[in-house]
């Protein structure tokens, strides 16, 4: 079993829909990252959080430390949101860069 | 620079050849990380520098992999005697510190033939 599990693996939505991507992890963590990867490989860091909730534009990330679960929400989705969204955690005893990555959720938003 | 720059963008190497991949982090970022991403998989940690010190190299898959950051800025990931299983995208990221987010480069896609 992977230490970081994401669901769903693939998601197709219509423009304007509210989207939720889930991440569950089995290790103690000191931080959790949400990343966006477009075709061609470039990765953009969306959020780094260790508790609570963060919001940036149409993106919202939440984390529940007790339940070892995080969600990424996209409101009013748009075709340009189409990308792979990756959850990554830094273990509580791990070094700063030693992230454990999920396999990603491939999101496709149709116009 | 404005972002993390990696070069080359693409590299095709013959099996057994040595390769060197370069990462130019954001100026002033003390932390630098290397990750390996196989096709269809999430990235996997290789190694981490704080300034010029390599603090964690636990992810390097074999002694054919070597990374350095001699002056605490530019880093080079070297792979000796490349094998087909080394084919992957090699991602570099930098950060201003432990409590800051990461900025990733576009990666170097290495294909070993």
Residue A91 is predicted with a pLDDT of: 83
Q: Residue A1 — very low, low, confident or very high, per pLDDT cuts 50/70/90?
A: low
List, for residues B56-110, the tens digit of each pLDDT value. Answer: 999 999 999 999 999 999 999 999 999 999 999 999 999 998 778 889 999 999 9
Contacts of A99 in chain B (CB under 8 A): 33, 35, 43, 45
| Sheet with B19-24, edge to edge strand ranges | B5-7, B19-24, B75-79, B65-68
Most A CBs within 10 Å, among B4, B5, B33, B43, to test the A interface? B43
Cβ contact, residue pair B102, A95, below 8 Å? no
Interior angle at CA A36, CA B53 and CA A41, nearest 5: 75
Size of the A and B interface in Cβ pairs below 8 Å: 71
pLDDT at B1: 52
- pLDDT for the residue numbered A89: 92
The pLDDT mean for chain B works out to 93
pLDDT in tens, A38-92: 877 678 899 999 999 999 999 999 999 999 999 999 999 999 999 999 999 988 7
**Following CA atoms B5, B6, B7, B8 in sequence, which dihedral angle do they give, to the nearest 10 degrees?**
-130
CA A105 to chain centre: 8
pLDDT tens per residue across span A88-102? 998 877 677 778 899
Answer whether A97 sits within 8 Å of B47, measured CB to CB: yes
pLDDT value for B97: 83
CB A63 within 8 A of CB A49: yes
pLDDT at site B63: 95
Please give the backbone phi and psi of residue A68, each rounded to the nearest 5 degrees, phi first. Answer: 55, 55
Residues making up chain A, counted from first to last: 111
């Amino acid at each position: 079993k992977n230490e970081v599990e994401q669901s769903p693996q693939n998601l197709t939505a219509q423009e304007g829909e509210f989207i939720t991507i889930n991440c569950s992890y089995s290790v103690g963590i000191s931080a959790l990252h949400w990343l966006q990867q477009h075709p061609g490989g470039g990765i953009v860091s969306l959020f780094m959080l260790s508790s609570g909730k963060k919001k940036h534009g149409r993106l919202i990330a939440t984390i529940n430390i007790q339940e070892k679960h995080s969600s990424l929400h996209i409101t009013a989705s748009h075709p340009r949101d189409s990308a792979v969204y990756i959850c990554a955690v830094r273990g509580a005893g791990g070094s700063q860069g030693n992230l454990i990555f999920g396999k990603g959720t491939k999101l496709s938003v149709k116009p | 620079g404005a972002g993390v720059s990696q070069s080359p963008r693409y590299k095709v190497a013959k099996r057994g050849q040595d390769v060197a991949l370069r990462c130019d982090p954001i100026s002033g970022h003390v932390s630098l990380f290397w990750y390996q991403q196989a096709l269809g998989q999430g990235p996997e940690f290789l190694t981490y520098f704080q300034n010029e010190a390599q603090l964690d190299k636990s992810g390097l898959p074999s002694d054919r992999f070597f990374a350095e950051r001699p002056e605490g800025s530019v880093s080079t990931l070297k792979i000796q005697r490349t094998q087909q299983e080394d084919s992957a995208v090699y991602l570099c990221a930098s950060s201003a510190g432990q409590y800051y987010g990461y900025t990733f480069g576009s990666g170097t896609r290495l294909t070993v033939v």
